[in-house]
Structure 1
Amino acid sequence: MRSLDLRLLAVFDAILREKSVTVAGESLGLSQPVMSQSLSRLRDYFGDQLFVRTSEGMMPTPRALSLASSVGEVLGIVSQRFEPPQAFDPCTSSRTFSFFATDFAAAILVPSLMARFRPHSPNLRVRALPMRPKGMDEALESGEVDLAFGNLSEFGTGFYQTGIYHSDYVCLARGDHPEIRRALTVQQYLSASHALISPLPPGYDGLEKFLRDMLDPARIVLCLPNFFTVLTFLPQSDMLVTMPRRAGTTAARIIGAQVLELPVKIPGFDVKLFWHERFHKDLANQWFRNQVREAFNDR
């Protein structure tokens, strides 16, 4: 059986509806010659005139009338299956959005996100996941996780990225530190005891290498598993902690620590947002990306 171009069925349906080849062409955005050629192909395929010119317009033959319901059904199925995606409605959606981030990045972002979601999107859920040494790219590609953000470089082809902000580092000392107040000298920094987050999450390990190269090994007294543990030990310690600025200022606000500018030069870094190309046009993913960008801008 010869194949039939689905576009010809749209021509059939339009002529049946409008009773005019010209008007049908206008409704489809097709010229008169294209419509005439399409009608000729339809007649050839079905072996029938299908539409005959009368005083009341192009009227269907009995064969055309017998085809009408089937043509409408086929066009309906095609329209339903291939129509443009409906806009994502956060007000009614119960979707769970997920992202990879460091513990402190999640602590900074989540309150802003939830404040945005709750008034108008009460059914949305958020899942924050820790950075992984391996497998983040596969999770983003499969759709298991929507986004990743941080100082990341391991994502290769097939991923989109956009910059969120540039960060440098600051040093934290407890608020009533006996020797350090408001400012920090190079000598104080190099001679002080330091706590180090180790191992740092993917993308941040350059800080650990820099500090280990710069400081006397005896000055690194404590290694912590994550940024969050700074909150529990620093108020009772005279040690210093070097942290990304946003994480540091957030921690200092919670525990009343001093935020000190570094007296040594440590290169900063760019925090970026990453997603897989499979979901670049996904309306829900687009909406979530915008929410993350705006939440960080609120900080």
Structure 2
Amino acid sequence: MELSDIDLNLLLLFHRLLQERRVSAVAEKMQMSQPGVSNALAKLRRRLGDPLFVRGPGGIVPTPFALRLAEPVSQALATLHAALNPVTGFDPLRAARTVTIGMTDIGEVVFLPALLERLSREAPGLTLNTVRDTSVNLGDEMADGRVDLAIGLLPQLKGGFYQRRLFDQRYVCLMRRGHALEHAPLTLAAWREAEHLVVVAAGTGHRNVDDWLRKNSVRRKVRLTVPHFMSVGHILQRTDLIATVPERLALQLVEPFSLSVCPLPVKVPAAPIHLLWHERVQHDEANRWLRDVVIGLFAEAPSGRR
């Protein structure tokens, strides 16, 4: 027998008859007539090939077959009721789930330490997982519910997504302490003559810096290119190369790698960094709580749009 062969209302009637053991009481609670209850029971008897209930002292009593059905039917109805009537209110202290956030390697350095520190206090049962926004189809992953949030410069996420601007990412020059350019004014000529480490971050908005420099005919001596930002601190620490990097990343690398930060001699446009989420989780309380945490930690000024 297939589930499509059984009317859910008949299973509700069966469940009530098990509880009440009187046709009149079930008719009153389900707002049916007694003949209506009897007709529905007759239909269920025919479907299942069993009397289900017989007359007994003070009402009706279930058959052995009905008793075998009692527990699985009761559990199934309880599961459906819970799914259709979820408990409202998200309690981060009691929550136990995995949250996945799409971000770049820069994001892992800039956002994860503070975010993990906050979650360890306020939501110790949450497990955090990150995915590279360039290694998966982030739009599809978020639409399917496999990624909860994304942080970064992500112009490809448009229709069906909400976004909240966190801050404008400025760019600075990064070099080792003791570099010849550390204390001298960093002129455009000196910046051009220095040897540069360039990060070719394919698929991210940070490539806009190189595009802007090229369009404005700002040339520099490129000695080394790498595909990500994770090696920047190690390389600058032991060479005379300089690098143009996002300011928040630079501030995280200064102390661990004994580096120095100074303003660029050219005005490179800042990159808007957003928090993004799919419209399917717009009203999800857990997702909303996590969004509020990210905004509280990293947003510079209140602004947002869809």
Normalising by structure 1, what TM-score?
0.71
Deviations 1:154-194 (A, max 9, x none): 11211111111112110001111034326311111111111
- The CA deviation at 1:210 is 2.5
- The CA deviation at 1:106 is 1.4
Asked if the contact 1:102–1:150 (Cα under 8 Å) also holds between the matched residues in 2, the reply is yes
- The CA deviation at 1:216 is 3.6
Q: Aligned match of 2:143 in 141, 144, 148? A: 141
- The CA deviation at 1:134 is 5.7
2:157 is aligned to 155
CA-atom RMSD, angstroms?
Answer: 2.7
Identity %: 28
Asked if the contact 1:182–1:258 (Cα under 8 Å) also holds between the matched residues in 2, the reply is no
Q: Provide closer, same or farther for how the CA distance between residues 270 and 141 of structure 1 changes in structure 2, counting only shifts above 3 A.
A: same
- The CA deviation at 1:66 is 4.0
Higher helix fraction (1 or 2): 1
1:67 is aligned to 27
Asked if the contact 1:182–1:260 (Cα under 8 Å) also holds between the matched residues in 2, the reply is no
1:89 is aligned to 91
1:198 is aligned to 200
- The CA deviation at 1:113 is 1.3
2:64 is aligned to none
Deviations 1:183-210 (A, max 9, x none): 3111111111111101344222211223
Give the gaps of 5 or more residues in structure 1.
1-5, 7-61
Letter in 1 for 2:195: S
Q: For 1:199 and 1:63, how far apart are their aligned partners in 2?
A: 72
Is 1:290–2:285 an aligned residue pair? no
Asked if the contact 1:177–1:238 (Cα under 8 Å) also holds between the matched residues in 2, the reply is yes
2:125 is aligned to 123
Q: For 2:227 and 2:144, how far apart are their aligned partners in 1?
A: 29
- The CA deviation at 1:64 is 6.1
- The CA deviation at 1:69 is 4.2
Letter in 2 for 1:204: H
Asked if the contact 1:183–1:261 (Cα under 8 Å) also holds between the matched residues in 2, the reply is no
2:280 is aligned to 278
- The answer to which of 206-215 and 284-293 deviates more is 206-215
Q: Provide closer, same or farther for how the CA distance between residues 209 and 283 of structure 1 changes in structure 2, counting only shifts above 3 A.
A: same
Q: Aligned match of 1:167 in 152, 169, 187? A: 169
2:12 is aligned to none
- Alignment coverage as a number of residue pairs: 236
Q: For 2:207 and 2:28, how far apart are their aligned partners in 1?
A: 67
Q: For 1:184 and 1:114, how far apart are their aligned partners in 2?
A: 37
Q: Aligned match of 1:263 in 257, 262, 265? A: 265
Q: Provide closer, same or farther for how the CA distance between residues 66 and 255 of structure 1 changes in structure 2, counting only shifts above 3 A.
A: closer
